[in-house]
Chain A
Amino acid sequence: MLNFPLFPERASALAARVDSVFFVWLALAGAVALSVAVLIVVFAIRFRRGSPADRNRESGPARRQKDRRMEIAWTLTPLAIFFTMFAWAASLYYDHAAPPGDAMEIYVVGKQWMWTLQHASGRREINELHVPLGRPVKLVMTSQDVIHDFSLPVFRIKQDVLPGRYTTLWFTADRQGDYHLFCSQYCGTDHSRMVGRVVVMAPAAFAEWLAGGSGSPTMAAQGAALFRQYGCSGCHGANASVRAPKLEGLFGRPVQLADGSSVIADERYIHDSVMLPAKEIVAGYAPIMPSFQGQIGEDELQDIIEYVKSLRAAAPGATR
């Protein structure tokens, strides 16, 4: 009568690997729980009060030694199992920690109580995530307000989405279909409505879908427009009179900071440089940039980041 699943679908290779950890734990835990239960029942019956069972047992050092051995056995065996399982689950976690370099990037903003997503092509979606089959997809996520969590059970992954910070999540879908997308970190009134679906499409269909929509400009193009609109180009542009760090070829490179350290110019760095410009001062420049916190929305900032990324290939000194 009802759609009544007992086990979640899976649509990525990772999901199968996570499931295998789950099944091994299930077997181990089941075996231990069952043996404890059986022993308790057997002892409870055999040694019930008034039963004729033999209750004499050896005493003295011999028994104490036997008990000791048993104790050591049931201390060390679980320990060994735990370390093995730890290593397995941790290595899986590390394997999946860093997205592959060629992953397709999609920007995600969580806000009470919806997800807005934007593809590099400029196509936006709300509470839906269209992805192509077989291609690694990297989500670059941030929140406009409280902590959310982007959860995709079908890929066995989730990640908290934090305000003021970028977190990432990636997967390679290997099965077409519509699957659940949940917000898994409690975020207020309509937390349970901050849901949607992830649609895995054949590459050709996806390309067609991506080209559809309103024909909006790419994220980088939108970012370039915002770059002028907010006056960024006045200082960071090619003909600027103010001395400000150049952005061409910046993304992905190490940046030398005033305090002697260096950081990689990634999404977080660009984000913080706009929102908290005093945090990391580039060596050799005066800390004169104002903060844009409260003026630029997180979605807009993502466009700008995409624009800065597009300058990656540009030759130093190139003009727009």
Chain B
Amino acid sequence: MSAAAGTPRETYLNAGFTLWSWLSSVDHKRIAILYAISITGFFFIGGAAATLIRLELLTPAGDLVSADTYNKLFTMHGVIMVWFFLIPSIPSTLGNFLVPLMIGARDLAFPRLNLASWYLYVLGGLFTVAALVAGGVDTGWTFYTPFSTMFSNTHVIAAAAGVFVVGFSSILTGLNFIVTIHKMRAPGLTWFRLPLFVWTMYATSIIFVLATPVLAMTLFLISIERFFGVGIFDPALGGDPLLFQHLFWFYSHPAVYVMILPAMGVASEIITCFARNRVFAYRSMAYAVLAIAIIGFLVWGHHMFVSGQSIYAGTVFSILSFLVAVPSAIKVFNWTATLYKGSISFDAPMLYALGFVGLFTIGGMTGLFLASLALDVHMHDTYFVIAHFHYIMVGGAVMAFLGGIHFWWPKITGRLYSDGWARFAAILIFFGFNLTFFPQFILGYLGMPRRYHEYPPEFQVLNVLSSAGASILAVGYLLPLCYLFWSLRRGAPAGPNPWHAKGLEWRTPSPPPTHNFASIPVVTEGPYAYATPEAAGD
């Protein structure tokens, strides 16, 4: 690092101004920014696809785009949103930025590996974008065989290669977090003094490391099968398409928890801060995080209740799916209880966090409908499923991601944004979201299948409502882009701790210096030690 003598104060932002100083930086904070920029780009590409999908569905006839284009649009929407936005969203940006700060470390354990992860992400993104530019992929993000291996005429291998590569980005990020959290905590920072956000990053990392390789190998198998015309997934070749589904969902169901666990961590940080209260039942919250991560591995077969898997498997996976809902329910109740006797203020991050709790509750509850065997038979692959997982992934994960961005923006940039605009955007997104996705529950129960380019006319009213909501949602997502950028130039200096929050990341200046802390802090109490009259419990 260049010694910047005479400048006001050395921060990670002014440690270098050239493009190369960013692209070659091994500072976890700079890498977090690199991720933030790239995932935002992908979010808007995926969002553009969603916009076109909702426009097409305004009318029952397939009149805006052709059937093939529509199929490519929802595939692109899924692939990009899942692998290039949602999965890396909180872990790679906020996690990268905050984990070392929250545990009082100078950086992640393997900074160069961290930079390599970002390059892998970019490389994977390039493959996928290349597949899109070359004409797209029409398999759906699930790559089901034998359609993907033998019947699709699109660029399946390139897209699979992109996901394969970005998978290694996930694995290496997870590895880095696990080692960092185990080995680099500040003196006195015991496991049960860790902020819940760090717990969720730890649990997420376990999923990254143990689930992602299975997806990678499965996509590799698909590509080879497609290329050489021999393989174990296509029944015409003697294979079993359900084997693909098992391997795929072994990764892709836990991947849902990769999206929602970090969101839960963010919500825990925000709610405690703005309720000025300790989190209710800290230890149960931490155990619930681990329980969700581990039981989350055991429920994948609930995606396959009507696939032709055995009814024994259906039974096992159904009951395990109910089990994973218990720790999620505990978390919702504990967040609510955290508000009790707090001193609550309603700054923008808090609105996002409360919105998250509400939407996640609906998303989680509707998941219970789908875990019920006989009921899932009716609702499987309908818009009910679409609505359910968007409540989890968009209502849950994206809402929390935005909440986290707003909460830590002053720390990351050293600037304050307009609170009024931010609250307005939060409320707009909440209503836009509900208008978009609530009608889809009804559509789903009516039986409208997912991935339909055309649909029976009696579904039109609900689809129009949904599309109307989507336009509000789009405005809601563009707003933060505007006022946050504005704050970069014009925002008032934030100071080290504008929210008077606890947590080590607030004990260093904003933006933090390259080495995070002038001296490594020593921790003497648990997290969330807000001024409640109670003595330290946990």
Contacts and interface: CB of A to CB of B under 8 A. Distances in A.
The answer to whether any beta carbons of A and B sit under 8 Å apart in the complex is: yes
Interface of A: 2-8, 17-18, 21-22, 25, 29, 32-33, 36-37, 39-40, 43-44, 47-50, 53-57, 59-60, 63-64, 67, 70-71, 74-75, 78-79, 82-83, 85-86, 88-90, 92-94, 96-97, 112, 145-147, 149, 151, 153-154, 156-160, 162-165, 167, 180, 182-193, 195, 276, 293
Contact of B458 (A5, A32, A53): A5
A151 B369 contact: no
B313 interface: no
Contact of B447 (A8, A43, A185): A8
Contacts of B533: 55-57, 59
Given A22-B445, A47-B275, A147-B147, A293 B357 contact: no
Interface string B324-337: 01100110111011
Given A25-B368, A276-B238, A160 B306 contact: yes
Interface in B272-297: 275-276, 280-281, 284
Contact of A82 (B368, B375, B460): B368
B374 A18 contact: yes
B52 to A, nearest CB: 16
B377 A21 contact: no
Given A47-B342, A78-B329, A192 B372 contact: no
Contacts of A36: 332-333, 336, 357-358, 361
B525 interface: no
Contacts of B357: 36, 40
B358 A93 contact: no
Contacts of B276: 49
B152 A89 contact: no
B147 A187 contact: yes
Given A147-B146, A160-B308, A33 B344 contact: no
A40 B356 CA distance: 12
Contacts of B281: 67, 71
B374 A55 contact: no
Contacts of B534: 57, 59, 63
A64 B322 contact: no
Nearest to B142: A186
A180 B535 CA distance: 63
Nearest to A96: B374
B382 interface: yes
A50 B337 CA distance: 19
Contacts of A112: 151
Given A83-B319, A89-B374, 8 more contacts: A50-B343, A56-B533, A71-B281, A151-B447, A159-B306, A160-B306, A165-B235, A192-B452
Contact of B345 (A3, A49, A53, A159): A49
A64 B538 CA distance: 10
Given A93-B377, A149-B306, A163-B236, A191 B369 contact: no
B475 interface: no
Nearest to B334: A71
B378 interface: yes
Interface in B96-155: 138, 140, 142, 144, 146-147, 150-152
A97 B377 CA distance: 11
B453 interface: yes
B63 interface: no
Contacts of B419: none
23 contacts: A7-B446, A8-B445, A18-B375, A25-B372, A32-B365, A36-B357, A40-B336, A43-B340, A44-B354, A47-B344, A78-B329, A90-B374, A93-B374, A97-B311, A112-B151, A146-B147, A147-B146, A159-B377, A162-B308, A185-B144, A185-B381, A188-B152, A189-B71
A47 B343 CA distance: 5
Lowest 10 CB-CB distances: which A-B pairs, in order? A153-B447, A164-B235, A89-B372, A92-B374, A93-B373, A29-B365, A43-B339, A82-B322, A192-B452, A156-B378
Contacts of A88: 372
A43 B318 contact: no
Nearest to B367: A29
B73 to A, nearest CB: 13
B461 interface: yes
Given A44-B346, A153-B447, A164-B236, A57 B374 contact: no
Contacts of A17: 374
